[in-house]
Structure 1
Amino acid sequence: MSDEELAKDLGPLAALTIGVGTMIGAGIFVLPGEAILQAGSMASVAFVLGGVIAMFTALSASELGTAMPKSGGAYYYVNHALGPLFGSVAGWANWLGLAFASAFYMVGFGRYIARIFGLSGSVGVGPASITVVKLIALVGGAFFVLINYVGAKETGRLQNVIVVLLVAILAVFTFLGTLRAEPGNLPDPTSVVTTLETTGLIFVSYLGFVQITSVAEEIKDPGKNLPRAVIGSVVIVTVVYALVLVVMSAAVPQGFIADVITSGQENPIAVVEVGQYIQGAAMGGALLFGGLLATASSANASILASSRINFAMGRDRIVTPALNAIHPRFGTPYRAIGITGGLILLFIVIGDLTLLSGAASGLHLIIYGLLNAALLVMRYVAPEEYTPDFTVPLFPLLPILGVVFSFALLVFVAGDALLLSFGIAGAAVLWYLFYARSRTEKQGILSEYILSRSEELPDRAVSAATTVQPDGGTYRVMVPLSNPDHEQELITLASAVAKQRGGEVHAVHIVQVPDQTSLTYADEHVDEFGADREIVEAARKDAETFDVPVETHTVLSHRSFEEVFDAATTYDADLVVMGWGPHSHDGRAESRLDELTHDIPCDFVVLKDRGFDASRILVPTAGGPSSDLSAEMASLLRSEFGSEVSLLHAVGEGETREEAERFLEEWAADHDLSDANLLVSDADVETAIGEAAADHTMLLIGATERGLLSRLLRGSLVLDVVEEVDCSVLLTETARRRSLRERLFG
């Protein structure tokens, strides 16, 4: 156990940079020309209005972030407070909103590349043709998806450099433009409706400030610095946007931007033309370079953020947890990134700038409206665990205004984009009702509150909460019984898990019958074949001490261990808890033959019992899928027994200690174990686990990822560790499909 606490090494400036760097991106380098052409001198007002609406949400996000620093950001807040129905809407809107935003950024990236190299026209013939800009966007999008797929990380220093460069370029542009500004150059103002429509178009420029809340645990004095960073980033960005728009409008003759956009030039970028007009080629070149940096950085950040949304949704079973599969080599959620990348490329092909920016804006306005509503619920219900360090002033006025303005602005999003946004929200509702509702189990704070006061509240409210409450089905934990000496420990473990998951225990006593004896005869003479009625009755009594439903079964079979897999399927088990036996000698739950012939039907945990004691739990991890199950089991045992949990990561080959610490911190946050003890060791994996296990009473270790041939030649780390440590060991194996090649070679 380490005596050091998690370092809070992000100061207020570093946190502020995250927000500013996320927002001062593609929007200001792509949309100002369209905004001025649409709203005239009111374009700057449209940006200010967008900032005001973002500010209401920034205040709410600041309070929620200091109270619930969880992976998933806005999705987590909405799902936790309003329940999985609205969580489904928020999750899908956030995921696809980021995909639309990434496509928008990449089309902007394509325009800048085409402008720099003087490229124009189309590639292909007839319906198969595609503009050069979109072709570049597709290539760029595929490149950034690949970067995220293989795990290349954007460093904090690089992000800081990009932010400083962008702010410096815009500051010089604003200063020089101010010297040439003439009020008479301002284009005529437009109507309020047009201004609001422009706000709906450019709101994509305000995405991302909520991302600061995802690093709340790493910020020094987060109660003060987190709100300062979130709110400060919105204020700074709004001021920058407004100044740039005023300068663009006033520093060039009236009609200049309209002429640029309608001049017939194939890839006009108004901010660059204005820069060239103000200060010649140098300023235009700087803006071209800045726009290229901004669009690339924003796209990469959005793709990276989308995988976190997928992870949080998969953990809550809003989407299939299979999306969270980690690449065995790159350590990235490759399926989620691959699907998101495919959507981004599709959106690039089918959408123009107006549709892409409008859809991204519309979907995030839905999220922000729900986020403000989530704050209202958390404050009104006030659960005991909700203790924010920062509270929104003038409550409930400001979050109510956040809800109203976020949803009201949706009306002014461009028609096609508005229909698309509402269509996605409606599809998310249907997705929940027909898919996620039968799988997810998490109940929202709002539903819990309504159902707990069903006699006091209106029948309609209770009926609505009942109708949409999650019905993940009964969680079933199966325990194969054979050895009376370990029955109690296995039932204790299974019952603890079932209790925490609101499920039931199925104790299955498998009686092996000789091949020469028919099962019909055995059924009539069951006592002759070693059926142990006492072990079944003992299992029932032990499970009932945890106040969980228990069913017992006696199964006659010509097989013994192999029958466990069929029984798990028969009783629709979600988890099998079994004792360590000859089948476990190879670092996996199944035997070698079973491993080659089929996949396990559900999650398995195998207990090597040396005295059941869950007071101090150790979970080693390198990010594999089975270590995710280890984390889940540790969390459940902690809830039941008050366990102290430690996470261990051994520094890998080519990995620095700083990278290892950062990995473990992020992994802990993603698995709701941020308060666990974090241990990083420079020793080899086997030594690190052995040394750390000496101070713990239970070791939770994931099944080996090595293939069968590799284990036959080089042995199994799991087996070596199990034999070395003195504490009980819990081997965890997650159900997943593996090809024959993976089974043989890993």
Structure 2
Amino acid sequence: MSDEELAKDIGLVSAMTIGIGTMIGAGIFVLPGVAANAAGPIVVVSFVVGGVIAMVNALSISELGTAMPKAGGGYYYINKSLGPMFGSIAGMGDWMGLAFASAFYCIGFGQYLAVFVGLPTIAFLNPIQLGALLAGLVFVGVNYIGAKETGGIQTVIVFILLSILTAFAIAGFSSFEYATLAGEGGLTPFGAGAILPGTALVFVSFLGYAKIATVAEELKNPARNLPIAIIGSVAIVTVIYTILVTTMLGVVSWPELSQDAPVAQAAEFAFPASIGPIGGVAAAAAAVMTLGALLATASSANASILASARINFAMGRDKIVTNWLNEIHPNYATPYRSILVTGGLILVFIAVLGQDIEVLAKAASVLHLIVYALMNAALIVFREADTPEYDPDFTVPLYPITPILGGVLSLGLVAFMDGIEIALSAAFVIAAVIWYFVYARYKTEHQGVLSNYIRGRDEELPDQLVEAADAVAPTGEEGPTIMVAIANPRTESALITLAGAIAKHKGGRVLATHIVTVPDQTSLATAGEHKAELDASSEKLLTEAKSDAEAFDVPIETRTILSHRGVAEVFDAARSNDADTVVMGYGGTQFAGGRAEGTLEELTHDLPCDFLVLDGQSLELSDVLVPTAGGPSSDLTAEVAHALQDTVDVDVSLLHIVESGNEDAGRSFLSEWAEGHQLENAELRIESGDVETVIGQLGSEYSLVIVGATERGLLSRIIRGSLAFDTIERLETPVLLTERPSSRSLRGRIFGRH
């Protein structure tokens, strides 16, 4: 098992290559010529300023990443902190920003491809656009069928690129001439005021370091490695850009530097001078640089398309966009619709805007800068609202100056963009806001930390601020209702622990019900006459339930129900309260007494919702065993285990029992099952032997065993026995039986499958 755990770990070097590999792309292989033509030699300072702005933002992203290492990047932080309206803006900004960046990378690929291959002009598409479109189709196709580069390949790519660029820098240094760098007009032919417009153009070169935060959950020692990786990658890339751009401009004067393939051109001048008059050296050097450029731009474009699909997944999960986009391909297991929509946008951007690479670069930068500004604001909100779950291992220095400076610098740089890029970005932001008020506001139930903070202090804060928070608050339905049927004071705490953990994980509420079973000989009216005594008993029980639920910081409602029917009343209460899950004790399934109606009710109707039945009076959760064979309730067992892993931080072990000799096939099945149910970090245990015997032997090693109910009918389970019931009876360890509603016929529910 240790080998599998190591395989999932990402070390510091690998984490840094994720950031460096994403940033070293078309930014260095394409933009120097375009940027130098706009700003002159002082463009070197533009790259440095871009690095400084990126570094300030990197500090904030490092804090956010260590505070929530399971998060999925900038969209998640903003949505959780500032709320779904700003989450819509961030999601749209990230998505469209990546689409513009991908189009930019594809154009860069097309520029260097044109050096190798003579491409024709077709209609309004020049050869570079045609090459970019072909590249875009290939990259979209690769993501569609699910091909992906591993972390090892990414590391190799980065080291190859760094080796190529190091060789170029060494050769260029020997050919460097200050007179060539300064030129006839000096270092500032367009004035020092050209620095910031130059920074606005080249800032696209620094996009990508935030991607490291999206894999924070897989990092070894994220408290240490995440900040070092993010901050270190920005620092290294800034130094690389400064050296390389200075070298290029000292080898080829800025007016003559190619705007299509500057590195290849500079290599032709640098290598012959450094090596001597050797035939073919210049051509070989240019070819190597061209191959490096193709590799870098391809890697960046592919990574951007891949990242865009993840953003759509996160937005779909939060109900900000329709989950239609996240439909998984039956054969390739990829979100093919999201990839196709994003790919279509990229191809449109290449075709319509590809002849002006500056528009693509700046549009990508503007949208990302808006997201960076919102991330800095999110950090401040988390800090000032004193959010309990916000506990970063790394904190930004000089708070709150650093995040304020990051937001100001990000938005300030937008002012130096051209009107067309600002207009394009503004259009997407407005579209995101409109989308939120037309669609997402009525679907999502998530309340941001900022909204809760303002609305919870309505008496202290100005009315206008509270009214504004109310005006933009989502109106979607509340999260799922987790109903607890409490019958025994000794099991109350354990049941509330399970319900609270699930409600916390799903963003829902707990409904604690005390169902008081009245004997048939006593009318409910008569029982109601002794309501005061019943209320006192229930109030004590439900007060304890409220107290236990406070540990999970979830809303809880309590209710006392008088009934003759016992367990059947649980079914009715679940239906009338639209419960999504019912949590109850195993003893509670027997409090129907001798009445037949309860049994007939269960036989003739499907379960109203998911049911979790606990056999055990107390829970001290530390580790959980989940036996699975992929049965009908296996999805539910996985959801419960994932919820406990997320909220209570239990260690989860998955068990699959096979016949002797089938261990390899069993491990393959269990690995795929774990990955498909968000339990990649769980321990995998493959055992052979009798199912009940193995579970009985291993169960005592854990604090809880979660077992999915079989598809056999009720009478079949009780009379003939079943894995679920036999395990409950024999194990001393607490057992949680899970059952998801099915659509079995009456005959199937009575007799089951044989």
Q: What residue number does 2:432 align with?
A: 428
Contact 2:631 2:708 in 1 (8 A): no
The correspondence for 1:272, drawn from 264, 268, 289, is: 264
* AA aligned opposite 1:605: D
Deviations 1:509-549 (A, max 9, x none): 9xxxxxxxxxxxxxxxxx9xxx9999xx99xx899966526
Where in structure 2 are there 5+ consecutive unaligned residues? 272-281, 486-491, 547-555, 590-601, 657-661, 712-720, 729-734, 744-754
- How far the C-alpha of 1:99 sits from its partner, in A, is 1.9
* AA aligned opposite 2:235: V
Pick closer, same or farther for the CA change 1:505–1:367 going to 2, 3 Å: same
Does the alignment pair 1:699 with 2:709?
Answer: no
- How far the C-alpha of 1:656 sits from its partner, in A, is 8.3
Pick closer, same or farther for the CA change 1:45–1:662 going to 2, 3 Å: farther
Deviations 1:454-496 (A, max 9, x none): 2222222222222222332234659899xxxxxx999989976
Pick closer, same or farther for the CA change 1:489–1:734 going to 2, 3 Å: farther
Q: What residue number does 1:46 align with?
A: 46
* AA aligned opposite 2:148: K
* AA aligned opposite 1:360: A
Contact 1:103 1:344 in 2 (8 A): yes
Deviations 1:26-66 (A, max 9, x none): 22112111111111112211111111110001111112212
Query: In structure 2, the residue corresponding to 1:120 is in which secondary structure?
Result: coil
Distance 2:627 2:305 in 1: 29
* AA aligned opposite 1:71: A
Distance 2:337 2:301 in 1: 18
Query: In structure 1, the residue corresponding to 2:416 is in which secondary structure?
Result: coil
Q: What residue number does 2:610 align with?
A: 605
Aligned residues: 658
- How far the C-alpha of 1:696 sits from its partner, in A, is 5.9
Q: What residue number does 1:354 align with?
A: 358
1:192-341 correspondence runs (5 A): 192-253=192-253, 255-257=255-257, 260-261=258-259, 268-279=260-271, 280-341=282-343
* AA aligned opposite 1:142: L
Contact 2:481 2:503 in 1 (8 A): no
Deviations 1:383-433 (A, max 9, x none): 333332222122222221111010011122232222111211222222222
Pick closer, same or farther for the CA change 1:701–1:395 going to 2, 3 Å: same
- How far the C-alpha of 1:354 sits from its partner, in A, is 2.4
Q: What residue number does 1:86 align with?
A: 86
* AA aligned opposite 1:387: D
Does the alignment pair 1:182 with 2:183?
Answer: no
Query: In structure 1, the residue corresponding to 2:97 is in which secondary structure?
Result: helix
Distance 1:381 1:343 in 2: 38
Q: What residue number does 2:161 align with?
A: 166
* AA aligned opposite 2:352: I
Contact 2:62 2:213 in 1 (8 A): yes
Contact 1:212 1:229 in 2 (8 A): yes
Does the alignment pair 1:380 with 2:380?
Answer: no
Contact 2:101 2:301 in 1 (8 A): yes
Query: In structure 2, the residue corresponding to 1:667 is in which secondary structure?
Result: coil
- How far the C-alpha of 1:244 sits from its partner, in A, is 1.4
- How far the C-alpha of 1:84 sits from its partner, in A, is 2.0
Distance 2:103 2:709 in 1: 38
Distance 2:632 2:270 in 1: 56
Report the more deviating stretch, 162-171 or 469-478: 469-478
The correspondence for 1:730, drawn from 711, 735, 738, is: 738
Pick closer, same or farther for the CA change 1:609–1:658 going to 2, 3 Å: closer
The correspondence for 1:681, drawn from 685, 690, 714, is: 685
1:305-704 correspondence runs (5 A): 305-352=307-354, 353-475=357-479, 477=481, 500=504, 501-503=507-509, 547-548=556-557, 573=578, 575=580, 604-607=609-612, 617-618=624-625, 632-634=639-641, 644=650, 646=652, 648=654, 660=671, 667-668=678-679, 678-682=682-686, 695=702, 697-699=704-706
Report the more deviating stretch, 603-612 or 97-106: 603-612
Q: What residue number does 1:24 align with?
A: 24
Does the alignment pair 1:146 with 2:141?
Answer: yes
Deviations 1:618-644 (A, max 9, x none): 55789999977655544666899x684
Report the more deviating stretch, 396-405 or 465-474: 465-474
Query: In structure 2, the residue corresponding to 1:648 is in which secondary structure?
Result: strand
Deviations 1:101-136 (A, max 9, x none): 1222122222222321222322xxx5xx64443343
Query: In structure 1, the residue corresponding to 2:557 is in which secondary structure?
Result: coil
Contact 1:698 1:730 in 2 (8 A): no
- How far the C-alpha of 1:550 sits from its partner, in A, is 6.5
Query: In structure 2, the residue corresponding to 1:374 is in which secondary structure?
Result: helix
Report the more deviating stretch, 626-635 or 129-138: 626-635
Distance 2:235 2:630 in 1: 38
- How far the C-alpha of 1:22 sits from its partner, in A, is 1.7
Pick closer, same or farther for the CA change 1:323–1:497 going to 2, 3 Å: farther
Distance 1:625 1:142 in 2: 40
* AA aligned opposite 1:646: V
Pick closer, same or farther for the CA change 1:639–1:230 going to 2, 3 Å: closer
Pick closer, same or farther for the CA change 1:661–1:681 going to 2, 3 Å: farther
* AA aligned opposite 2:364: A
Q: What residue number does 1:714 align with?
A: none
What TM-score do the two structures reach when normalised by structure 1? 0.74
- How far the C-alpha of 1:137 sits from its partner, in A, is 2.8
* AA aligned opposite 1:99: A
* AA aligned opposite 1:303: I
Where in structure 1 are there 5+ consecutive unaligned residues? 262-267, 482-487, 510-526, 555-559, 582-590, 705-718, 736-746
Deviations 1:700-738 (A, max 9, x none): 65999xxxxxxxxxxxxxx99757854443245799xxx
Does the alignment pair 1:97 with 2:97?
Answer: yes
* AA aligned opposite 1:297: S
Cα-Cα RMSD: 5.1
- How far the C-alpha of 1:142 sits from its partner, in A, is 3.0
Distance 2:339 2:664 in 1: 25
Query: In structure 1, the residue corresponding to 2:304 is in which secondary structure?
Result: helix
Q: What residue number does 1:708 align with?
A: none
Pick closer, same or farther for the CA change 1:283–1:221 going to 2, 3 Å: same
* AA aligned opposite 1:154: E
- How far the C-alpha of 1:605 sits from its partner, in A, is 2.1
Contact 1:630 1:702 in 2 (8 A): no
Query: In structure 1, the residue corresponding to 2:421 is in which secondary structure?
Result: helix
- How far the C-alpha of 1:285 sits from its partner, in A, is 0.6
Query: In structure 2, the residue corresponding to 1:730 is in which secondary structure?
Result: strand
Distance 1:182 1:659 in 2: 62
Q: What residue number does 2:152 align with?
A: 157
Contact 2:495 2:614 in 1 (8 A): no
Distance 1:380 1:345 in 2: 43
* AA aligned opposite 1:149: Y
Contact 1:503 1:549 in 2 (8 A): no
Pick closer, same or farther for the CA change 1:643–1:175 going to 2, 3 Å: closer
- How far the C-alpha of 1:21 sits from its partner, in A, is 1.5
Query: In structure 2, the residue corresponding to 1:548 is in which secondary structure?
Result: strand
